[in-house]
Amino acid sequence: MNFVFISPQFPQTFWNFCDRLKKNGVNVLGIGDTPYDNLSQNVKDSLNEYYWLASLENYEDVFRAVAFFSFKYGKIDWIESNNEYWLELDARLRTDFNVTTGVKSDRIEGFKSKALMKKQYEKAGIPTARQLKVPDHDTAEAAGLSKCLDAARAFIAETDYPVIVKPEIGVGALATYKLENDADLEKFYSDLPRHPYVMEEFITGNIASYDAVISSKGEPLFESMTCWPPSIMDIVNKHLDLAYYVAAEMPESLRRMGRAAVEAFEVRGRFVHMEFFCLTKAKPGLGEVGDFVALEVNMRPAGGYTPDMMDYAHSLDVYQIWADMVAWDERLFPAAETEHFCAYAGRRDEYTYVHSHEEILEKYGKRIVTCERMPALMWDQMGNMNYTAILDTEEETKEYIRFVQEYAPGSGPQV
């Protein structure tokens, strides 16, 4: 089997996917934009061959790299990055090289468009926030800005403030905003972005993700729940500290919704990360406190170190489970014998904290599994410093996060 892995060197833990594939006897062929000599030894060892490109943004160059591998090794069986940024690139390459083990270009928009996601949730019978498509700058000028603004006001008359506006197709919480009043609305519409946005009613709740490895038959081979802060948007825009955790167990209601979404989106042969609100305030038409409401789908693993956190929480190897799905379309890794919580607590260089680095290590040293500086590309969302630990209960997990992130008097974000 010939597997082309796009960008195996970033995020920095993704070499694990390649390593497990190679151990399964798969011929792993990497294409990346980091010179070979600059790759970590782990990345080098996980690949059978690596093709360096100055940029992965130039499709013709990436196409030639895949064509070279195809000429040298024969038909390409898989093309994957497991990275949301490269989903369209993956799909286009599969289409051009007739690789049938993943989504092709004709379906990829449905995996990335926040407007099209709504239709699939409706198909699955999963409640989701009301939404209005916001035209881009040029479309609004052609249609008439006042007409577009009136449509937004009519939408808000039904949902009330605040509302969230975010790119229809986007990665993470970048360029996402909360509009609190008419002044915010008029300011946003006075300088609309050059690409389409969506406006959604605001939902008060925490975010829980359904994370799973899905077989070619649409069956979950692994399932897990990760609990996130209510707003990654605020983490980025207000420079808050990020804290989240992989839970020991998953509520059956979330499991049912996750599986229904997998079926509605016709997910086959991939890792998925599907986000839901768990309501902390009842919302008419959507649910009561504790109910789950769909947010969006991401057809790739959860970001950062989350796959490793799943390993620590569930005493297993999700990279191996994924690689076994690729190679044999089944799960060979045994079920976990013990379940824990695994929590990430980030800190930013710009703030001063009550507890020093040394105090954290003294109190939680035996439980901390990762303590390191984050890559610069992740600073906005994840902070500069990463402390990740294994805990036994949700109460211990919340106390750990509080201990790591408690601000010294006079420090911390101004919110």
Write out the DSSP string of 169-233: S-STTTT-EEE-SHHHHHHHHHT--SS-EEEEE---EEEEEEEEEE-TTS-EEEEEEEEE-S-HH
- What SS3 state is found at 60? helix
pLDDT of residue 81: 98
Instruction: Give 31-41 pLDDT, tens digit per residue.
Output: 999 999 999 99
97 with 70: CB under 8 angstroms? yes
Which whole-number Å values give the CA distances from 35 to 32, 40, 61, 106, 386, in the listed order?
A: 8, 11, 15, 33, 27
pLDDT at 14 exceeding the cut of 80: yes
pLDDT digit string (tens) for 122-177?
989 999 999 999 999 999 888 898 999 999 999 999 999 999 999 998 765 568 88
Task: Tell which phi-psi region holds residue 338, choosing left (phi > 0), alpha (psi between -120 and 50) or beta.
Answer: beta
Percent of the chain at pLDDT > 70 equals: 99
Where does the pLDDT of residue 232 fall: very low under 50, low under 70, confident under 90, or very high at 90 and above? confident
pLDDT (tens digit per residue) in 46-97: 999 999 999 999 999 999 999 999 999 999 999 999 999 999 999 999 999 9
Question: Which residue from 332, 292, 299, 338 is spatially nearest to 315, judged by alpha carbons?
Answer: 338
Phi-psi region of 245 (alpha: psi -120 to 50; beta: other; left: phi over 0): beta
CB 4 within 8 A of CB 79: yes
What pLDDT is recorded for position 200?
Answer: 96
CB of 221 closer than 8 Å to CB of 215: yes
85-121 confidence digits (pLDDT tens): 999 999 999 999 999 999 999 999 999 899 999 989 9
What is the residue whose two structure tokens read 């009043």?
Answer: 181
pLDDT at 174: 61
Judged against a pLDDT cut of 90, whether residue 287 lies above it is answered with yes
Long-range contacts of 109-112 (CB under 8 A, 24+ apart): 109/169, 110/265, 111/87, 111/265, 111/297, 111/299, 112/87, 112/88, 112/169
**Closest by CA position to 400, among listed 335, 346, 350:** 346
Residue 274 in this model has a pLDDT that exceeds 60: yes
> Can you read off the two tokens belonging to residue 169?
């197709």
| pTM to 2 decimal places | 0.93
Query: Chain centroid to CA 351: how far?
Result: 26
Q: Could you tell me whether strands 2-6 and 27-32 are parallel, antiparallel, or unpaired per DSSP bridges? A: parallel
Rounded to whole angstroms, the Cα distance separating 69 from 76 reads 8
Question: What confidence tier does 29 reach under pLDDT thresholds 50, 70, 90?
Answer: very high
What is the residue whose two structure tokens read 């990829």? 108
220 or 231, which is more confident: 220
- Judge contact between 230 and 281, C-beta under 8 A: no
Give the pLDDT of residue 143. 87
Asked, as a colleague might, if the bond just before 230 is cis with ω within 30 of 0, I would say: no
Model confidence band, residue 236 (pLDDT cutoffs 50, 70, 90): confident
Q: How far apart are CA 129 and CA 378, in angstroms?
A: 28
Read off the tokens for 103. Answer: 């989504």
Q: Are 221 and 321 in contact (CB under 8 A)?
A: yes
Instruction: Report the chain's mean pLDDT, rounded to a whole number.
Output: 95
Structure tokens belonging to residue 171: 């990665």
